[in-house]
C-alpha cells in the first residue's frame, strides 16, 4: 500500500469505529469515537460515514486543477450544498478517469453542521470511509455505517458516488427500488456504467438476499467486509478538515508564531540601533519581490476568472437535470404507490409527454399538481386535457410539460 497515512479510522456497522493499520488484512482494535485514538506519532486518516461526508459523482469537461475546482464548487452550489453561513462547503475532488473529452470526478463534501464528536484535532486528513476501500469493480455496493444503509457506485474500484437511503434492517423491495433508481442515474452518465452486479457487505438475512436476486435481476454477492484499497495514495490529497479542526490548528500556529515573534522582538531590541538600516533595506527588497510575484500571477488569475465565467455561461447545456433518464426518475418518484400506471414517457425538444392510466380523475389531477410543485419538473409548464373515462371508472390521461425559459 502506497500511502502517507499509516492508520485509518473507519466506521463500523454499529456505533463503534475500527482501527486499520497500513497493509493489514483486518482491523487491529475497536473504538467508541475517533477522538479515543491517542497515538499521535503518525498521521491518522479518519474515514467518515456518509452522514458526515457526502460523495457526489460528476462528469465535467477536462480542465486544469484550478478551473476544475471552480466547476466543482459551482456544481455543489447548484445542488444546494453549502458551508456555514452560506459559504462554499469544505470539499476535495478526485479525478477517477476520463470519458472522451470529459473527466469522471468524485467529490467528498463535509456535512454542515459537522458532528463535533468526529472532530479529531490530531487527524492528518479526512475522507469518505468508502474512498479508502477497494470496491468490487462495476458493482453497486450496499453497506451499513453505524445503523444507516449506504449505496455506492464506483469507477474501476474507486468510489464515485454514495448516499444514505434507509435504516437497517431493510427489505428486498426497498433495496431493489433504490438499486433501480441508482442504476438509472448512472446509465445517463457517460463512462461510468454499466452495473454488472450487487455486493452486500456484512451480515444479511438469507431470505432478503434471495428475494433481491429475483427482484433486482442482477447477480448478488455477500462479502464479509471491505478492505482498504491496496493502491491508495493519499500523499497528493489536499486537506479536507472540519472547521473546528482547522480553527484549532490555526490557533496553535498563531500561538507558536506569537512565541517566536516575542523571541525575535527581544533580539531586535538588543540590536535595534545596529540593524535598523539593514532591516529597512531587507523589507524594501522583500516588498519589491512580492510586487513582482503579484505582477506575474495577475494575468493567469484573470484567465482563470474568464474561464470560470465561460463555464458558467455554458452550464445550462451540460445540466444533468435535463437528461431524459433523470427526468423519468423524478417523475417516477412523484407517482403514488398505487393508482397510476405509466404507459408512455417521451422527451423531445424540451417537451415531456406522459401517457398514464389513473384510478380516477382526482388521482391524475393530483399527479399534475405534484409535477408543478417539483423543484426540477416545476420548470415545465404542465397541462392535462380532459381524461377519458372508461367503463370500469378508470381514466386514461395525457399529461404534457413544456419547458419554460425561466
pLDDT at 316: 46
Mean of the per-residue pLDDT values of the chain: 85
pLDDT tops 70 at residue 45: yes
Residue with cell 465561460: 310
* pLDDT tens figures, 301-340: 788 788 777 766 554 445 556 688 888 898 988 888 888 9
Where helices occur in 192-271 by DSSP H, the ranges are 206-216, 243-270
Q: Could you state, in order of their start, the residue ranges of all structural domains in the chain?
A: 7-223, 252-314, 321-403
Averaged pLDDT for residues 226-231: 79
The more confident residue out of 354 and 245 is 354
* pLDDT tens figures, 93-151: 999 999 889 999 999 999 988 888 888 877 889 999 999 988 999 899 999 988 899 99
* pLDDT tens figures, 333-362: 888 888 899 999 999 888 999 999 999 989
**8 A C-beta contact, residue 104 and residue 56:** no
pLDDT at 2: 39
> pLDDT category, 251, cuts 50, 70, 90?
low
CA within 13 Å, CB half, 176 = 15
> pLDDT category, 3, cuts 50, 70, 90?
very low
Distances (CA, A) of 132 to 22, 30, 108, 182, 231: 11, 18, 12, 21, 10
Averaged pLDDT for residues 7-23: 81
pLDDT at 141: 95
pLDDT at 353: 94
Residue with cell 398505487: 338
Q: Domain 321-403 has what CATH class?
A: alpha beta
* Distance between CA atoms of residues 82 and 92, nearest Å: 14
DSSP string, 97-132: EEETTEEEEEEEEE-SSPPGGG--TTEEEEEEGGGG
Q: How many CB atoms lie within 10 A of CB 358?
A: 22
* pLDDT tens figures, 49-100: 999 999 999 999 999 999 999 999 999 999 999 888 888 999 999 999 998 8
> pLDDT category, 42, cuts 50, 70, 90?
low
| Chain-centre distance for alpha carbon 312 | 21
Distances (CA, A) of 263 to 259, 260, 276: 6, 5, 17
> pLDDT category, 276, cuts 50, 70, 90?
confident
The yes/no answer on whether domain 7-223 falls in CATH 3.30.420.40 is yes
pLDDT > 70 fraction of the chain, expressed in percent and rounded: 91
Same fold, 7-223 and 321-403: no
Closest CA to 154 of 108, 181, 109, 186: 186
Residue with cell 426518475: 329
pLDDT at 197: 92
For residue 401, which phi and psi values (nearest 5 degrees)?
A: -125, 125
Averaged pLDDT for residues 397-404: 91
Amino acid at each position: 500500500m502506497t500511502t502517507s497515512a499509516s492508520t485509518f479510522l473507519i466506521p463500523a456497522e454499529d456505533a463503534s469505529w475500527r482501527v486499520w493499520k497500513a497493509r493489514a488484512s483486518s482491523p487491529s482494535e475497536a473504538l467508541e469515537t475517533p477522538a479515543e485514538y491517542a497515538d499521535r506519532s503518525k498521521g491518522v486518516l479518519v474515514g467518515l460515514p456518509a452522514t458526515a461526508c457526502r460523495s457526489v459523482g460528476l462528469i465535467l469537461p477536462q480542465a486544469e486543477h484550478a478551473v476544475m475546482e471552480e466547476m466543482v464548487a459551482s456544481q455543489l452550489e447548484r445542488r444546494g450544498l453549502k458551508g456555514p453561513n452560506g459559504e462554499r462547503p469544505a470539499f476535495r475532488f478526485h479525478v477517477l478517469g476520463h470519458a472522451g473529452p470529459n473527466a469522471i470526478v468524485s467529490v467528498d463534501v463535509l456535512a454542515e453542521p459537522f458532528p463535533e464528536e468526529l472532530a479529531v484535532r490530531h487527524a492528518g486528513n479526512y475522507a469518505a470511509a468508502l474512498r479508502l476501500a477497494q470496491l468490487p469493480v462495476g458493482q453497486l455496493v450496499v453497506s451499513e455505517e453505524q445503523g444507516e444503509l449506504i449505496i455506492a457506485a464506483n469507477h474501476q474500484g474507486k468510489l464515485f458516488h454514495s448516499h444514505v437511503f434507509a435504516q437497517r434492517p431493510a427489505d428486498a423491495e426497498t433495496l431493489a427500488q433504490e438499486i433501480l433508481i441508482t442504476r438509472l442515474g448512472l446509465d445517463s452518465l457517460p463512462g461510468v456504467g454499466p452495473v454488472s452486479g450487487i455486493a452486500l457487505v456484512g451480515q444479511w438475512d438469507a431470505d432478503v438476499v434471495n428475494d433481491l436476486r429475483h427482484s433486482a435481476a442482477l447477480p448478488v454477492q455477500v462479502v464479509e467486509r471491505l478492505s482498504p484499497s491496496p493502491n491508495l495514495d493519499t500523499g497528493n490529497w489536499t486537506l479536507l478538515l472540519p472547521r473546528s479542526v482547522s480553527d484549532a490548528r490555526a490557533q496553535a500556529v498563531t500561538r507558536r508564531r506569537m512565541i517566536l515573534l516575542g523571541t525575535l522582538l527581544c533580539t531586535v531590541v538588543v540590536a535595534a540601533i545596529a540593524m535598523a538600516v539593514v532591516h529597512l533595506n531587507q523589507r524594501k527588497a522583500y516588498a519589491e519581490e512580492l510586487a513582482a510575484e503579484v505582477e506575474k500571477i495577475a494575468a493567469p488569475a484573470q484567465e482563470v476568472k474568464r474561464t470560470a465565467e465561460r463555464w458558467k455561461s455554458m452550464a445550462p447545456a451540460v445540466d444533468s437535470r435535463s437528461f431524459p433518464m433523470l427526468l423519468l426518475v423524478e417523475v417516477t418518484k412523484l407517482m403514488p404507490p398505487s393508482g397510476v400506471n405509466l404507459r408512455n414517457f417521451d422527451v423531445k425538444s424540451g417537451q415531456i409527454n406522459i401517457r398514464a392510466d389513473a384510478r380516477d380523475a382526482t388521482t391524475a389531477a393530483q399527479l399534475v399538481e405534484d409535477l408543478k410543485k417539483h423543484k426540477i419538473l416545476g420548470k415545465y409548464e404542465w397541462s392535462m386535457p380532459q381524461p377519458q373515462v372508461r367503463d370500469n371508472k378508470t381514466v386514461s390521461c395525457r399529461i404534457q410539460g413544456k419547458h419554460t425559459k425561466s
